[in-house]
Copies of this chain bind each other. A is one copy, B any other.
Amino acid sequence: MASKTHSGNYFEDFRLGQEIRHATPRTVSEGDVAVYQGLFGPRFALQSAATFAESLGFERTPIESVLAFHMVFGRTVPDISLNATANLGYAGGRFGAPLFAGDTVSVTTRITGLKQNSSGRNGVVYVHSEGVNQHGENVMAFDRWVLVPKRDADAPPPDTVIPALEDAVPAEEFVVSWSAPADYDCVASGSEYLWDDYEIGERIDHVDGVTVEESDHMTACRLFQNTARVHFNQHVEADGRFGRRIVYGGYLISVARSASFNGLGNAQTIAAINGGTHCAPTFAGDTVYAWSEILDRFELPGHARVGALRVRTVAVKNRSCAGFPYKTADGKYDDGVVLDFDYTVLMPKRG
């Protein structure tokens, strides 16, 4: 009798152009928002207060962008990255219709590229994943590429296809679901700095560090239904590469996004994830800091009161970000850098 256990896909299981509809659609609730609040402590006013959400034109409070990302990402893990050795990068992330409590997210992934490595033992799988709500509206879509081992080293290699990946999501594709009123409340939002006040090249140390606990990062993964084994099983990981459980890379995105409130307090939503790299592993006991650099700024045609800032937020462990640690002279990531995240936020503009 065939095993009824799902063991995930290996490199040779993927086919170019293959479409995978993922299991376990997920209805997001106010409870999920509260658990996320307890895990990451976000303070952006749009997600914190229904009254503030209303002031931006929402009938109900939308789900924080990064939580929406995790809910889409989580669905893809059992099919795409259960056996992955590394989550190599992200690109082309687009946030669409806001996600609200009560909405159900379903996710489909298309295989957009395959490249077996010269060792013949593994390969890179490029995918495009798209999450839709119960009305079929796009909620969040993104490209990523992962390193996946082969089950059978003798399986023949596929034709190498590497998809074109965007450097950044074009501003004209941003979905802008809110507007800042003339009396936008900078006291309630916690920051007096609006889009107009940021300059390209400006760097901000978000100052505060938070220490990661095993319970916290595992709870996050269970909330998102991210089942990757390296996060959960100390019995196996004790003999693994690091001797311990590895924190989900996306956990660092949430830590960094929450920390970024201190300096980017009016970045109410994320419009795009342009790119992202998990530079080094994080473990329980590590303390994570973050800093950001403003990479670009755009006006948004038709949106007089909202502008976009392209931001790089860097998460660093066990080291202050006062010196903005990033890369060394040889272009490698500096000691302690765990996340290099390039994304575009929406922020009120002065009228």
Q: How far is the CB of A97 from chain B (nearest CB, A)?
A: 16
A78 contacts across to B, CB distance below 8 A? 190
Question: A222 at the A/B interface (Cβ < 8 Å)?
Answer: yes
Per-residue CB proximity of A1-39 to B under 8 Å, as 1/0?
101111100000000000001111111011111110111
A208 contacts across to B, CB distance below 8 A? 227, 229, 232-233
Question: A104 at the A/B interface (Cβ < 8 Å)?
Answer: yes
A219 contacts across to B, CB distance below 8 A? 38-39, 216
Question: A211 at the A/B interface (Cβ < 8 Å)?
Answer: yes
Count residues on chain A whose CB falls below 8 Å from chain B CBs. 83
B23 touches A29 (CB 8 A): no
A61 touches B27 (CB 8 A): yes
B206 touches A210 (CB 8 A): no
A25 touches B49 (CB 8 A): yes
Per-residue CB proximity of A252-282 to B under 8 Å, as 1/0?
0000000000111100000000000000000
B211 touches A234 (CB 8 A): yes
A48→B49 CA distance, assembly (Å): 25
Beta-carbon contacts under 8 Å, A310-333 to B? 318-319
Give how many copies assemble into the complex: 3
The stretch of A148-156, A165-173, A196-204 in contact with B is A196-204
A162 contacts across to B, CB distance below 8 A? none
A218→B38 CA distance, assembly (Å): 8
Residue of A38, A61, A218, A234 ringed by the most chain B CB atoms within 10 A: A38
B190 touches A23 (CB 8 A): yes
B218 touches A210 (CB 8 A): yes
List 10 A-B pairs, minimum CB-CB distance, nearest first: A31-B34, A41-B222, A23-B190, A235-B287, A25-B49, A31-B31, A215-B215, A211-B234, A213-B215, A38-B219
8 A-B Cβ contacts within 8 A?
A: A1-B199, A5-B205, A5-B262, A6-B262, A23-B187, A34-B34, A43-B227, A213-B215
